[in-house]
Amino acid sequence: MPPTVSTEPNQGRNQGSSPGLSAYADVTASETSLRRFLHGLPGVDQVGAEARAAQLGTRSIKTTAKAHALDLAIRMVDLTTLEGQDTPGKVRALANKALRPDPSDPTCPSVAAVCVYGDMVGEVKSVVGDRVNVAAVATAFPSGRAAMDIKLADTRDAVEAGADEIDMVIDRGAFLAGHYLQVFEEIVAVREACQRPDGTHAHLKVIMETGELQTYDNVRRASWLSMLAGGDFIKTSTGKVQPAATLPVTLIMLEAVRDFREATGVQIGVKPAGGIRTAKDAIKYLVMVNEVAGTDWLTPDWFRFGASTLLNELLMQRTKLATGRYSGPDYFTLD
Amino acid sequence: MANDPNVFEYAPAPESRSIVDIKPSYGLFIDGEFVDGHGSAFKSINPATEETLAEIAEADDADVDKAVKAARKAFRTWSRMPGKERSKYLYRIARIIQERSRELAVLESIDNGKPIKESRDVDVPVVAAHFFYYAGWADKLEYAGLGPNPQPLGVAAQVIPWNFPLLMLAWKVAPALACGNTVVLKPAETTPLTALLFAEICQQADLPPGVVNIVTGAGATGQAVVSHPDVDKVAFTGSTDVGKAIARAIAGTDKKATLELGGKAANIVFDDAALDQAVEGIVSGIFFNQGHVCCAGSRLLLQESVADEVMAKLKRRMGTLRVGDPLDKNTDIGAINSAEQLARIRALAEIGEDEGAERWSPPCELPSAGFWFPPTVFTGVSQAHRIARDEIFGPVLSVLTFRTPSEAVEKANNTPYGLSAGVWTEKGSRILHMADQLRAGVVWANTFNKFDPASPFGGYKESGYGREGGRQGLSAYLKADTKAGA
């Protein structure tokens, strides 16, 4: 069963009418007020944040807990290919893998979504139908350097082609230059472009490219900015910039969605993407979700892994846990 | 897990205890050998289960005398040995500690009740670091700031507490040996096992007999050790009451003393702090090692403008603390070390309630056997409450508020103790200002309970005198060469 995010628009969101969210209308009314708000958020102590992330990484997840975590992690994967060399054949193969990650084991769950460039949405859709979501990157991914009307057209194309989810990039240049309102308005506009004629909307993930934002203070500010602008998910990276997802960055984002829900009643998802390659790493992220944001986020509706090679690592560990034997990579499909 | 698929339960992940071999009984370690004691043997128990771990010999006055004589004899050769030779022994001990780190960590957790994650990641690594650090000093004592040829004091009587059994041993033994002293050490009666394993490590390292002697027992043994007439130096870590008794006992003698005693540290959070990290610091400040830490941040001082926000975050964070089996790798808070200490914590917590402070603990299930106390926070505490003044030495946090930096300083300093303090602010100048104003031996900024062998540690006022660690820690075990310049 695919995550319910796109079929249940605004699930968990209290809409703009929520007294919580409307209280922030003044914040986004002007460049000055938005700047004042974002810079008024509590700072992040880098040493402390990294120590906390490392500490959570020492949790020892064994036996039944590991089995649970591996299946959950598989269900949270946005199986991704974002290459210039992607072909219809390649993405159809990936789509099949998304449906049946382990063909030899029918108990193995499907992944959450397949993530591709906008022009491949139809190909994926023709394979997965409604069984797995289709996510498309848009807005001049990965750099975000294009005119606004092109970014919006990019988005509308993907939505029309049937994308359930849109992964947009923010204009990091504008953010670093301090033009917060510009970034905010771009996200609002893309969110509108996600709207479908039937009143639902494609689920919007906002990629902050945290590797380019550099500081945790920036990550926290960008997270709040994206959430206030109407993003359904905040996402670390495109996967094209190093460093991509890290545990401390994800920690800051999980704190942000936790605090945002407390302040507004609106729940936002989190997606670390890029650089998560091992099952052990994936489990560390789940531990962090569990202990920082809480169990409400421990579903594919609210937490995703943007990854490609991670899936096979999860499958190998899953098989090893079930059979006691570690099979080589030849026992798992390439894609 | 079966009912709610979202709940992520961690399966038990216990560290195996098979790595450590606990003998049914232990003697005293005198002159390089294990010998029988002549007092009445006592038992060391596992505070998490109340099972008896081993029978421990008690040293009487005659045993202590033998130990001091052995130390005196060894002093003649050990003190004259070139520093670089002494350093070889210390390096060797440090390396053996690293090699046997898992064994030491498991044993420490079994005997003390502290979580394996702390004994494994904090206690034992810092113990090894301490020996490495002072091994490096052994041949450089002329740079200690005590003249060209500083001399060891002689035989050091060292009495250590149960909260960090092996770490306190390292703090005492490493600098003493590096400086050329020999030692008679008495570990706490509830936690002697890692000290006795350390004795085996001394044998394994071929340390000359008598350089380290370990006598086990309770208060009477400790008293015999510190008041022995042929002891030149007394080093004690423990309660202020016992520290005062020791100071009285050695008054009028020429024994040198360092005392590291109690504390009631203020952990001060300003409104411009990095709040999420401050909450982590509050948690590690008071719940690290079940709060059995003399420098624990047991008084939380919150600026009123962020008090509610911080308390909400703190309570949520406390809800994720895992209390239970010390050997489980996912345990955050282990067992209280003894029935006696548990009774004291309970009594002070009840006084806190009686005096009108509001008590809160997260829902948490405590094991039925053993000694346990849930992580607890008291709000609405004022300076007049006993829980704001007395050292509880348990996982109990007292929360007070302040309005201005000067009020924070006044409240923080308004205590008979002065061992440590914490300051949380993103403003560098405020950190420096506060560090200047706070009367505490250690002031941590945007962190808490960080220990490094290169950093001196010690207290103001009733928290004791003398410094341990760093170059300053050498002066506790050296005297300036009176013949220098002659």
State residue A12's pLDDT score: 44
Distance CA B45, CA A30 (A): 66
Q: What percent of chain A has pLDDT over 90?
A: 90
Whether pLDDT at A185 is above 80: yes
Average pLDDT over residues B145-166: 96
Q: Do B272 and A43 touch (CB under 8 A)?
A: yes
* Full DSSP string of B271-296: TTS-HHHHHHHHHHHHHGGGG--TT-
Q: Known catalytic residues of B? A: 260, 294
Element (H, E) at B341: helix B339-354
Q: How confident is the model at residue A17 (pLDDT cuts 50, 70, 90)?
A: very low
Average pLDDT over residues A168-196: 98
A3 band by pLDDT with thresholds 50, 70 and 90: low
Instruction: Determine the distance in angstroms separating the CA of A24 from the nearest CA of chain B, rounded to an integer.
Output: 18
Residue A48: which of B4, B9, B447 has the nearest Cβ? B447
* CATH code for the structural domain at A25-323: 3.20.20.70
Q: Would you state the pLDDT for residue A327?
A: 85
Residue among A47, A58, A60 with most chain B CBs within 10 A, to mutate: A60
Q: Which long-range contacts (CB under 8 A, 24 or more apart) does A150-157 make?
A: A151/A186, A151/A190, A152/A189, A152/A190, A152/A193, A154/A118, A155/A190, A155/A193, A155/A194, A156/A193, A157/A118, A157/A119
- Averaged pLDDT for residues A250-277: 97
* Chain A nearest-CA residue for B318: A291
| pLDDT tens-digit map of A223-237 | 999 999 999 999 999
- How many CA atoms lie within 13 Å of B219's alpha carbon, on the beta-carbon side? 7
For chain B, give the percent of residues with pLDDT over 70.
98
Per the structure block, which two tokens stand in for A27?
A: 């914040």
pLDDT at B353: 97
- The residue of chain A with its CA nearest to that of B306 is A42
Angstrom distance (rounded) from CA B424 to CA A51: 16
Helix (H, G, I), strand (E, B) or coil at A78: strand
Integer-rounded Cα Rg, in Å, for chain B is: 22
Considering only CB atoms, which chain A residues are within 8 Å of B310?
none
Count A/B contacts: CB-CB distance under 8 Å.
77
User: Is the pLDDT score of A10 beyond 80?
Assistant: no
Distance CA A115, CA A134 (A): 6
Provide the 8-state DSSP code for B14: B
Question: What's the pLDDT band for A2 if we cut at 50, 70, 90?
Answer: low
Residues B307-330, mean pLDDT to the nearest whole number:
98
Residue A6 has pLDDT above 60, yes or no: no
CB contact under 8 A, B275 and A42: yes
Do B11 and A47 count as a contact with CB atoms less than 8 A apart?
no
Which residues make Cβ contacts (< 8 Å) with residue B476, sequence separation at least 6? B175, B233, B235, B256, B258, B466, B467, B468
**Summary mean pLDDT of chain B:** 96
Residue among A51, A255, A295 whose CB faces B8 most closely: A295
**Is residue B4 less than 8 Å (CB to CB) from chain A?**
yes
What does the pLDDT average to over B72-99?
98
Q: Are strands A233-235 and B256-260 parallel, antiparallel or unpaired?
A: unpaired
Average pLDDT (B379-401) is 97
Predicted pLDDT of residue A173: 97
Residue A4's pLDDT band (boundaries 50, 70, 90)? low
- Per-residue pLDDT reduced to its tens digit, B13-53: 999 999 999 999 999 999 999 999 999 999 999 999 999 99
Q: Give yes or no for A256 touching B (CB within 8 A).
A: no
Say whether residue B2 is in contact with chain A using an 8 A CB cutoff. no
- Write the CA distances from B151 to B171, B230, B456, integer angstroms: 19, 17, 21
Give A331's DSSP letter. G
Residue A78's closest CA among A318, A244, A335, A273?
A273
Distance CA B162, CA B154 (A): 26
Please give the torsion angle defined by the CA atoms of residues A139, A140, A145 and A150, in that order, rounded to the nearest 10 degrees: -70
DSSP symbol at A42: P
Partner residue facing B277 (CB), from A48, A64, A290: A48
SS3 B38: coil
Distance CA A234, CA A268 (A): 7
Q: What is the ipTM of this complex?
A: 0.94
Overall average pLDDT of the B336-364 stretch: 97
Chain B residues whose CB is inside 8 A of the A61 CB are 10-11, 13
- Is A49 within 8 Å of B447 when comparing Cβ atoms? no
Closest residue, chain B, to A54 (C-alpha): B121
Distances (CA, A) of B436 to B300, B423, B433: 19, 12, 5
pLDDT at A88 over 50: yes
Using a CB–CB cutoff of 8 Å, tell me whether B446 touches chain A.
yes
Section B249-258 average pLDDT: 96
Query: Would you say the C-alpha torsion B100, B103, B105, B108 has a positive or negative sign?
Result: negative
> Which pLDDT belongs to residue B5?
64
Q: Which of B16, B277, B287 to mutate to test the interface with A (most CBs of A within 10 A)?
A: B277
> Chain B within 8 Å of A286 (Cβ-Cβ)?
yes
Distance set, CA A80 to CA A66, A213, B96, B450 (Å) = 24, 23, 49, 42
For chain B, domains (ranges, CATH) are 25-261+463-479 (3.40.605.10), 266-452 (3.40.309.10)
A242 touches chain B (CB under 8 A): no
Q: What is the mean pLDDT of residues A305-332?
A: 93
pLDDT tens column, A140-178:
999 999 999 999 999 999 999 999 999 999 999 999 999
Residues of chain B neighbouring A255 (CB-CB closer than 8 A): 276
**Between chains, do B10 and A286 touch, taking CB under 8 Å as contact?**
no
Q: Which residue has the tokens 């009307």?
A: A149
Partner residue opposite A45 with nearest CB, options B13, B320, B446: B446
B482: pLDDT strictly greater than 70: no
Contact yes or no for B50/B370 (Cβ under 8 A): yes
Q: CA-to-CA distance for B365 and B349, rounded, in angstroms?
A: 18
**Can you read off the two tokens belonging to residue B403?**
């309005």
d(CA A68, CA B112): 33
Q: How confident is the model at residue B241 (pLDDT cuts 50, 70, 90)?
A: very high
Residue A9 has pLDDT above 60, yes or no: no
User: Rounded CA gap, B61 and A122, in Å?
Assistant: 89
pLDDT at A8: 41
Q: Distance from A248 to chain B by nearest Cα, in Å? A: 12
Reported as a single tens digit per residue, the pLDDT across B427-475 is: 999 999 999 999 999 999 999 999 999 999 999 999 999 999 999 999 9
CA distance B359 to B397: 10
Q: Could B446 and A47 be called an inter-chain contact, meaning their C-beta atoms sit closer than 8 Å?
A: yes
Model confidence at A335, pLDDT cuts 50, 70, 90, reads: confident
B4 pLDDT band (50/70/90 cuts)?
A: low
